[in-house]
Structure 1
Amino acid sequence: MRLRDIAHARTGDKGDTSQICVFARHADDFPRLERELTAQRVADHLTMLKPRRIERHVLPNLGAVNFVLHGALSGGVTRSLALDAHGKTLGAQLLDMEMGDA
């Protein structure tokens, strides 16, 4: 099972910081997101980014886990030569993460 089977994501950016918010598709899946979707797993899955720091915020009222990836956008939109300088595809990349058995 991949994360996309139980969740969807939205992304945003500000300067050199990317934000990925992962929402459970169903309330019953939120405890699994909260348990399995850690900052370390995000860092391990998105190794190419090499962020300086990842903050994890659990948002139970939204059924979501939000990640703030500091230093993940190669200097930011106006300084980066990256093809996806805004980091808009990072949510889709994260949703490709393999999840353990339920």
Structure 2
Amino acid sequence: MTVITQGARLVEAPLHRIAHGRTGDKGNRINISLIAWREDLYPLLREQVTADRVAALFAHRHPGRVQRFELPQLWALNFVIDDVLEGGVNDALNLDGHGKTHSYLLLSLPVRIPEDL
């Protein structure tokens, strides 16, 4: 395991450089799990991927509430985002009422990571 040292030069990169995601949906709610590629990357997720940042990223979908749950044993965060699927699969007029693809939006979020990553 690589250990991220204090004082390392930081650069901005998309979140997918340090994590992957899985998404599910139920009604008008999506559930996005964000999982660090390695244990030493988990603290970067905890520090930078907040419920407020996720709410801002999904602002164009008008989320009602964003909750973040920490799963340190899995090196993961789980976000539950309400009211972003235009009513859900059965009510939405858009092409993709499912939340399956929304993890890609989250994985585009810019984060600051050590340059050597």
Q: Same fold (TM over 0.5)?
A: yes
Q: Which has the higher strand share?
A: 2
- Please point out which of 42, 55, 74 is paired with 1:62: 74
Instruction: Please list, as runs of the form range in 1=range in 2, the aligned pairs for 1:1-102 lying within 5 A after superposition.
Output: 1-102=13-114
Question: Which stretches in structure 1 are left out of the alignment for 5+ residues?
Answer: none
- Long gaps (5+) in structure 2: 1-12
Q: Is the CA contact (8 Å cut-off) linking 2:42 and 2:76 kept in structure 1?
A: yes
Larger Cα Rg: Structure 1 or Structure 2?
Answer: 2
Aligned length: 102
Aligned CA-pair RMSD: 1.0
In structure 2, what is the Cα distance between the partners aligned to 1:97 and 1:71?
20
Cα deviation for residue 100 of structure 1 reads 2.2
CA displacement 1:3-52 (0-9 Å, x = unmatched): 00000000001111101010000100001101111011011112221111
Using the aligned pairs only, state the percent identity: 42
Query: Counterpart amino acid of 1:11?
Result: T
Deviations 1:51-93 (A, max 9, x none): 1101110100110000000111111110001222111111011
TM-score relative to the length of structure 1: 0.95
